[in-house]
Amino acid sequence: MSFLRPYRGLGAAPGFVLGLLLLAGPVLAHGTDDHGRQKLPLGDGRISETPKAGYLMSCQTRFSPNAPGASAYGDWLQGDTWIPALKPVVPGQVEWPDWRLSVTVEGDRRVVRANNLPKHASGDFPIPRSSEAFRYDRNPNSIRRQDVLLTLPAVPQVAGMPTCVPMGMVGFALTGVAIYNAVDARGEDAPAHEIQDACNAHPQQQGQYHYHNYSPCLTDTAGPAGGHSNLVGYALDGFGFYGLHGEDGRKLSSADLDACHGHSHPVLWDGQMRAIYHYHFTEDYPYSIGCFRGSVDPALLRRGPPGMGAGGRDGMGRPGMGPREGMGPREGMEPREGMGPRDGMGRAGFQGPGGPGGRGEEILSRAAAGLGISADTLRRAIGPPPPDLAAAARQLGISEDSLRAAMHRAMAGN
């Protein structure tokens, strides 16, 4: 049986006592139902404007109940809990042999380059009309190759105070998949409401395939074997994401972690044991991250997908708050082609030689073609004016002379 979905209001925690909120907060317990199936607390409404354990400190706190998302809910949602084993799964085993990911340390930076195709098989997207999953979620989006370029601190430091997380990408997994925060475009618990594939993932409007919670397709051999979980990804502040297991192999919950969903102790980091802050995935909300404990490059929060975690405008039309996750066309409409992201400052097109759009966009496209990369990749590397070609060249992994030569050839029309 399925039901139309009601909208649950959002809660906010007034006041800010950093020390207490970082270490404490009401975290809902979870257990099993009468049949021994795992039962998790529903995260709806657990959004805060301050760091609070068991909550998501989201930059966006106002959401529309009419935002796209799952169209109905079923018997896996039971009051203020949900039972993952009862939720339908998007069918299919689609392989992605062209998946690509490289993570390199270049000076004091860690550079992630990927095409956002998964290392593992995915479900069939758009969700097949004949499937049970389609009864509840009519996600019309296809998985599409993205150009991901993230430049992170190689040895991140804990910031003076935590900061909010955007909608959209908050990190990137070593399986080549983006990591999003815990909520959907309506501000509700995404893993509980949205129908995902067997790897707990699905694509959004631009085709960016992503997780909201822990994926059984992440590679963590140490945790299930009784040790501390392996590194499975990086957050946008540079700190690592580790799997479900902490020290001595104990499976963690939100109650074991601070308000940002992490803690500090020695872990394997770049091949050596190092005492460093890190995040953990847990089975309960907010699943991966509650807030950023380190400093995030503002450029990563300004730029929209594909490739960057936060889009130019949020679901309420405000700049800098991230894309509306799950923003696919409604049932009966085809996804719009060719609608690339804005440059993160609300401007359509490249503002380079010749001004915004027009001639400047032509130059950018020719230069990108000459370098063998996409125009979006080059646009993100160059960033807003005035362009820093030296920094752009480092991000692209080429020499500054090569980049300048490509730009000159493009301006000359060659």
pLDDT in tens, 46-62: 999 999 999 999 999 89
Residues 307, 292: Cα–Cα separation, whole Å: 19
Q: What are phi and psi of 160, to 5 degrees?
A: -60, -35
- Asked whether residue 159 falls in the same domain as residue 294, the answer is yes
* 360 & 295 share domain: no
pLDDT at 79 over 70: yes
Which residue stretches of 116-220 are H helix?
A: 133-136, 190-193
Strands (E), 115-236: 148-153, 158-163, 169-173, 178-180, 201-203, 209-211, 231-235
Considering the domain architecture, whether residues 397 and 258 belong to the same structural domain is answered as no
**Residues 389 and 399 sit within 8 Å (Cβ to Cβ):** no
Higher pLDDT, 251 or 35: 251
Which of 302, 335, 360 is the C-terminal boundary of a domain?
302
Element (H, E) at 394: helix 389-396
Angle in degrees, 0-180, between the axes of helices 358-371 and 375-382, rounded to the nearest 10: 110
The last residue of a domain, from among 267, 302, 337: 302
Whether 101 and 113 have beta carbons less than 8 Å apart is answered as yes
pLDDT tens, 350-362? 334 333 345 677 8
- Residue 389's pLDDT band (boundaries 50, 70, 90)? confident
Number of domains in the chain: 2
Q: Structure tokens of 361? A: 């966009």
Could you tell me the two tokens for 365? 């496209």
| Number of Cβ within a 10 Å radius of residue 173 | 25
Q: What is the mean pLDDT of the chain?
A: 81
- What is d(CA 323, CA 176) in angstroms, rounded to the nearest whole number? 20
Q: What pLDDT shows up at residue 302?
A: 65
One domain for residues 130 and 192: yes
Residues 105 and 181 in one domain: yes
Q: Is the pLDDT of residue 30 over 80?
A: no
Residue 367: predicted pLDDT: 86
**pLDDT at position 93, please?**
97
pLDDT classification of 372: cutoffs 50, 70, 90: confident
Mark whether 266 and 397 lie in a shared domain.
Answer: no
Q: 110 with 13, same domain? A: yes
Q: Residue 313 pLDDT more than 50?
A: no
326 vs 276, higher pLDDT: 276
* Strand-pair partners of 267: 274
Write down the pLDDT at residue 402: 80
Q: Tokens at residue 211, please?
A: 């997780």
Boundary (domain end) residue, out of 241, 275, 302: 302
What is the extent of the structural domain holding 9?
3-302
Beta-bridge mates of residue 209: 203
